[in-house]
Structure 1
Amino acid sequence: MTKDTSPDTPTEPLLRVLTPDATPEEVAAVVAVFAAMGGGAPAPEKPRSVWASPARRMRGPHVHGRGAWQASARGIR
């Protein structure tokens, strides 16, 4: 059995307030909580740039001794 989802088919509301004295603010608060809970498809992740990688901010150890200046310029550790 398949569910007919054509525009002519009436659908039941997803949320029904049973308390007759609920204010519009209270209903909005309940709707906001349900909306924050999610339930939809997760947002697609954007590919992260190598330039934005936190590992780029890490420095390597300082090289000490003879030839340290040249080694630091070449990236030799």
Structure 2
Amino acid sequence: MTGEIPREDITIDVRRGNPTEEELAALIAVVSEAYATEAATAVVAEEPCRSAWAVSQRGLRTPLPRVGW
């Protein structure tokens, strides 16, 4: 991991107005920083939590001995 964001073709659709190149550059900088921050803080739990079903699980009982009555 180099810490570099993978480059992909990204499109920005401007719905209203006519933004300048500086405004678009500022938008890209803010969104890129937010993405990098979120990606850096995203973590996955190392060990999966055991469910209540697994915690209460017991071994199988041995069969009762057959005794002649």
TM-score by length of 1: 0.27
**TM-score, scaled to structure 2:** 0.29
